[in-house]
């Protein structure tokens, strides 16, 4: 079989589990052949040998059983950095880059007003994607730390920091920033925000990501309810809380921020026009 045909067969086998079956198939074939995805796409008319073909079929079977491509590859690109990922953490999503962009704008506006080095904490850090991306992009102008409730996730976040930054980031085992002392100028978080009922559906159909990273309780808002008042305690006056949200949670999370005393509450939309980030300023 030629490469192009193998790719289209692979993509067809993934059509019911993936929103991006061709992309997934090409990434998996690249892994099976030890080549780049660009190279694999250019190899269309070439013959796929038996070793490569059987490796590819094995990877397609894993993906078809619901394993995310990022877990199969052990890597996920986020803000241009290759994060190590596996079953210990949620795979970083492109949507979350909006949280990083909002945090960078906030950080740069503080830097301009001479609050350097900025103290930034990323709660619910998971793979460390947000914390490490901020540390990479802000360099010496920020002191970034991170926390997570899962010791397994924290271990991976530490590894990602070491490998991608060349140094450690302070990392605390903590439930919703309990025991994490400020003050901070900026707190970022992508907490679990999927409703428990929706999570039941995800796991009934073979979801592989840790439930701890997704399940935000009956209405999905449980962690924002705890985080908003906690963030008020650790933020310096004028400090900012920036969180990722589900696309139907903009007004509910804004209300929770206001109830906790935050001002200048703002909801930002992602490229698809959906509510994705809420920001608030501590008085």
Q: Which whole-number Å values give the CA distances from 13 to 9, 16, 20, 61, in the listed order?
A: 6, 7, 12, 8
Per CB under 6 A, the segment of 3-11, 44-52, 168-176, 185-193 that binds ligand GLN is 185-193
In this structure, the strands spanning 235-244 and 275-281 are: antiparallel
Q: Decide if 44 contacts 2 (C-beta within 8 A).
A: yes
User: Cα(267)–Cα(279) distance, rounded to whole angstroms?
Assistant: 7
Min. distance of Cβ 192 from ligand GLN in angstroms?
A: 4
Per CB under 6 A, the segment of 59-67, 74-82, 188-196, 234-242 that binds ligand GLN is 188-196
Say whether the peptide bond before residue 219 is cis (omega within 30 degrees of 0): no
Nearer to ligand GLN, 6 or 70 (CB): 70
Q: Quick check: 127 binds ligand GLN (CB under 6 A)? A: no
Site for ligand GLN in 238-277 (CB under 6 A): none
DSSP 104-115: HHHHHHHHHTT-
Site for ligand GLN in 201-230 (CB under 6 A): 214
Min. distance of Cβ 214 from ligand GLN in angstroms?
A: 5
Q: Choose which of 190, 195, 249, 282 interacts with ligand GLN (CB under 6 A).
A: 190
Q: Number of residues in contact with ligand GLN, rule: CB under 6 A?
A: 8
Min. distance of Cβ 212 from ligand GLN in angstroms?
A: 10
Residues 15-54: x where in contact with ligand GLN by CB under 6 A, - otherwise, as a string: ----------------------------------------
Nearer to ligand GLN, 10 or 126 (CB): 126
Q: Choose which of 7, 102, 194, 243 interacts with ligand GLN (CB under 6 A).
A: 194
Site for ligand GLN in 89-108 (CB under 6 A): 93, 95
Backbone phi and psi for residue 90, each to the nearest 5 degrees, phi listed first? -65, 140
- 99-103, long-range: CB < 8 A, 24+ apart: 99/130, 99/188, 99/190, 99/242, 99/243, 99/244, 99/276, 99/277, 100/130, 100/133, 100/134, 100/137, 100/188, 102/242, 102/268, 102/277, 102/279, 103/130, 103/134, 103/186, 103/188, 103/242
Please enumerate in sequence order all residues whose Cβ is within 8 A of that of 141, keeping only pairs 6 or more positions apart, or say none. Answer: 107, 111, 116, 117, 118
Site for ligand GLN in 128-167 (CB under 6 A): none
Q: Quick check: 192 binds ligand GLN (CB under 6 A)? A: yes
Min. distance of Cβ 154 from ligand GLN in angstroms?
A: 17
Nearer to ligand GLN, 104 or 212 (CB): 212
- What are the residues facing 47 on neighbouring strands? 2
Q: Which residues bind ligand GLN (CB under 6 A)?
A: 93, 95, 190-194, 214
């Amino acid at each position: 079989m030629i490469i192009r045909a193998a790719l289209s067969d692979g993509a067809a086998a993934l059509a019911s589990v993936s929103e991006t079956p061709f992309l997934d198939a090409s990434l998996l074939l690249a892994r099976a052949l030890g080549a780049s995805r660009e190279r694999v796409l250019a190899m269309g008319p070439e013959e796929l040998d038996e070793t490569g073909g059987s490796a590819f079929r094995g990877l397609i079977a894993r993906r078809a059983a619901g394993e995310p491509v990022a877990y199969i590859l052990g890597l996920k690109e986020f803000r241009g950095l290759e994060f190590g990922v596996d079953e210990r953490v949620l795979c970083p999503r492109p949507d979350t880059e909006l949280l990083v962009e909002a945090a960078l704008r906030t950080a740069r506006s503080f830097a301009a007003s001479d609050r350097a080095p900025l103290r930034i904490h990323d709660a619910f850090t998971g793979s460390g994607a947000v914390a490490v991306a901020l540390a990479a992009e802000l360099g010496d102008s920020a002191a970034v730390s991170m926390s997570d409730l899962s010791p397994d996730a924290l271990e991976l976040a530490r590894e990602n920091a070491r490998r991608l930054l060349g140094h450690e980031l302070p990392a605390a085992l903590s439930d919703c920033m309990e025991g994490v002392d400020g003050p901070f100028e900026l707190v970022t978080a992508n907490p679990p925000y999927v409703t428990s009922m929706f999570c039941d559906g995800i796991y009934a159909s073979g979801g592989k990501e840790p439930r701890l990273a997704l399940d935000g309780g009956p209405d999905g808002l449980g962690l924002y309810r705890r985080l908003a008042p906690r963030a008020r305690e650790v933020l310096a006056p004028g400090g900012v809380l920036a969180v990722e949200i589900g696309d139907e949670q903009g007004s509910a999370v804004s209300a929770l921020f206001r109830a906790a005393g935050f001002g200048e509450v703002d909801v930002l939309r992602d490229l698809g026009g959906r509510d994705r980030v809420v920001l608030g300023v501590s008085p």
